[in-house]
C-alpha cells in the first residue's frame, strides 16, 4: 500500500445530483430563452420581473449571506443604474442600450468610495449607513432640475424605436437581456464561491477575527464583492427602468421595491445558499399573484410567512431541506478524493458541505 505521502488528492466539487441539476438548469435556460415564441406579452413581462428579482436577490445574498455585508441601501445602485441609462440616452441621443455598460461602470465607481467610507462603521451602524447613502442620492436627484427633479425622466418614442424597429423586437431583446443578466449573475456567483475568494468570504462571514488572523484581507475581499454587486445591481436597475420607459426619484430609489422585497425573498428562500434566492423568488411571486387582491392584508400575510419561516426554518426553506436531505443544485461542495486506487475513495465528509454552510 502506498504511504500517505505518496497519495495524490484532488478537490471534487460535483456529485451525481449536481451534474443532473446542471443539465436541468441548461435545459431550463433554453426553454426560457424560447419564451417569446411560446408565451404571450404578459408572460414575458412577468418573467422579466422574475429575472430581475432573482438577480437582485442573488446579489444581496452574496453580500449578506456570504460576505457578511448587510446592506439596506442597494436601491441606491438600482436608481443610479436607471438614471445613468436615461442620461446617456437623452443627453447623447443614442440607443438606450449603450447606457447599460455605462450604468455598470458608474455603479462600480460609486460602490468603491461608499464602502471605504462605511467600513469605518460596524454592525447596525454600517447597515444604517447604507440606507443613509441611498436616501442622500434620492434627495440629490429629487432636487436636480437637470434630471427632471421630482417629475423624473421619460424616454421619447424615437429613442425607444432605436432599440428595435418593431414592438415585438424590442420586447424580445429586453427579455433576453434580462434572462442573460440573471444567468450571468448566478453563474458569476458560483464561480466566485468556488474560488479562493469563496473560501475567504465564508471565513469572514463566520468569524471575521479568525479570518484576519489567518491572513485574509477582510476589507479588500469585501471591497471586491461590494463593487461587483454594485456593478451588477446598477445594470439590472438600468434594464428595469428601460422597460418602464420612465423614471422618478421615488421609483428609482424605492426601498420597498428594491431592498425590502429582495431581503424577504432571500430570507424565506435561504440566506447563504445560492439556491435560496431562486426558491424565494418563486414563493414571493406565487404569493403575490394569488394574494395581491387582498390589499393591505396581502402585506400582513407576507410578514407572517416571513416570521413563520424564520422561526421554523432559520436557514430558509431551501436551507432546511438541504440540511435535512443533503440537496445541492450547484457544484459548491468540496470533497477531498484520493487518486491512488488503493486509497480511500473520499475523505473529509465535513468538507462536503456547500460553501455557504
Output the pLDDT for position 339: 61
Residues with Cβ < 8 Å from 159, sequence gap 6 or more? 89, 90, 93, 94, 95, 96
Separation of alpha carbons 286 and 120, rounded Å:
40
Separation of alpha carbons 61 and 229, rounded Å:
10
Is 252 in contact with 86 (CB distance < 8 Å)? no
Does the pTM exceed 0.85?
A: yes
Is 55 in contact with 47 (CB distance < 8 Å)? no
Residues with Cβ < 8 Å from 207, sequence gap 6 or more? none
- Residue with grid cell 436627484, as numbered in its chain: 141
Separation of alpha carbons 133 and 114, rounded Å:
8
Which pLDDT tens digits describe the chain residue by residue (357 residues)?
A: 555 555 566 655 556 677 788 889 999 999 999 999 998 999 999 999 999 999 999 999 999 999 989 999 999 999 999 999 999 999 999 999 999 999 999 999 999 999 999 998 988 999 999 999 999 999 999 999 999 999 999 999 999 999 998 999 999 999 999 999 999 999 999 988 888 888 888 888 888 888 888 888 888 999 999 999 999 999 999 999 999 999 999 999 999 999 999 999 999 999 999 999 999 999 999 998 888 788 778 888 888 999 999 888 888 999 898 888 877 788 676 555 556 555 554 444 444 445 445
Residues with Cβ < 8 Å from 70, sequence gap 6 or more? 63, 64, 126, 127
Burial 76-114 (b: 16+ CB within 10 A, else e): bbbbbbbbbbbbbbbeeeebbbebbebbbebbbebbeeb
Phi, psi of 313 (to 5 degrees): -140, 85
Output the pLDDT for position 341: 52
Phi, psi of 247 (to 5 degrees): -145, 140
Is 42 in contact with 49 (CB distance < 8 Å)? no
Residues with Cβ < 8 Å from 88, sequence gap 6 or more? 94, 96, 98, 99, 102
Strand partners, 257: none
Separation of alpha carbons 265 and 195, rounded Å:
26
Domain definitions of the chain by residue range: 34-253
Output the pLDDT for position 3: 55
Cell numbers for 106, please give them: 458608474
Is 301 in contact with 288 (CB distance < 8 Å)? no
Residue 129: alpha-carbon gap to chain centroid: 20
| Nearest Cα residue to 49 out of 284, 211, 213, 214 | 284
DSSP letter at 301? H
Q: Is 152 left (phi over 0), alpha (psi -120 to 50) or beta?
A: left
Amino acid at each position: 500500500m502506498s504511504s500517505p505521502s505518496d497519495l495524490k488528492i484532488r478537490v471534487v466539487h460535483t456529485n451525481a445530483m449536481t451534474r443532473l441539476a446542471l443539465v436541468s438548469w441548461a435545459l431550463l435556460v433554453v426553454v426560457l430563452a424560447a419564451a417569446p415564441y411560446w408565451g404571450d406579452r404578459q408572460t414575458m413581462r412577468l418573467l422579466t420581473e422574475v429575472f430581475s428579482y432573482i438577480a437582485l436577490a442573488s446579489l444581496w445574498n452574496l453580500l449578506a449571506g456570504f460576505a457578511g455585508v448587510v446592506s439596506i441601501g442597494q436601491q441606491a445602485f438600482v436608481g443610479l443604474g436607471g438614471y445613468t441609462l436615461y442620461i446617456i440616452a437623452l443627453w447623447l441621443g443614442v440607443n438606450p442600450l449603450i447606457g447599460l455598460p455605462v450604468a455598470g461602470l458608474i455603479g462600480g465607481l460609486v460602490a468603491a468610495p461608499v464602502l471605504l467610507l462605511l467600513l469605518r462603521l460596524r454592525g447596525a451602524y454600517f447597515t444604517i449607513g447604507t440606507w443613509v447613502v441611498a436616501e442622500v442620492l434620492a434627495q440629490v436627484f429629487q432636487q436636480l432640475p437637470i434630471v427632471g427633479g421630482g417629475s423624473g425622466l421619460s424616454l421619447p418614442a424615437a429613442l425607444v424605436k432605436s432599440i428595435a424597429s418593431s414592438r415585438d423586437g424590442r420586447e424580445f431583446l429586453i427579455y433576453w437581456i434580462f434572462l442573460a443578466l440573471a444567468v450571468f449573475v448566478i453563474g458569476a456567483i458560483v464561480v466566485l464561491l468556488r474560488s479562493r475568494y469563496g473560501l475567504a468570504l465564508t471565513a469572514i462571514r463566520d468569524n471575521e477575527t479568525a479570518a484576519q488572523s489567518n491572513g485574509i484581507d477582510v476589507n479588500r475581499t469585501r471591497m471586491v464583492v461590494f463593487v461587483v454587486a454594485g456593478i451588477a445591481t446598477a445594470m439590472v436597475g438600468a434594464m428595469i427602468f428601460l422597460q418602464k420607459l420612465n423614471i422618478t426619484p421615488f421609483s428609482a430609489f424605492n426601498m420597498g421595491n428594491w431592498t425590502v422585497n429582495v431581503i424577504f425573498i432571500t430570507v424565506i428562500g435561504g440566506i447563504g445558499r445560492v439556491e435560496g434566492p431562486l426558491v424565494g423568488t418563486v414563493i414571493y411571486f406565487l404569493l403575490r399573484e394569488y394574494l395581491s387582491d387582498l390589499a393591505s392584508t396581502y402585506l400582513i400575510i407576507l410578514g407572517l410567512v416571513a416570521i413563520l419561516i424564520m422561526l421554523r426554518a432559520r436557514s430558509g426553506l431551501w436551507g432546511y431541506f438541504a440540511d435535512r436531505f443533503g440537496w445541492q443544485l450547484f457544484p459548491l461542495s468540496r470533497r477531498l478524493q484520493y487518486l491512488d486506487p488503493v486509497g480511500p475513495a473520499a475523505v473529509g465528509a465535513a468538507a462536503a458541505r456547500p460553501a455557504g454552510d
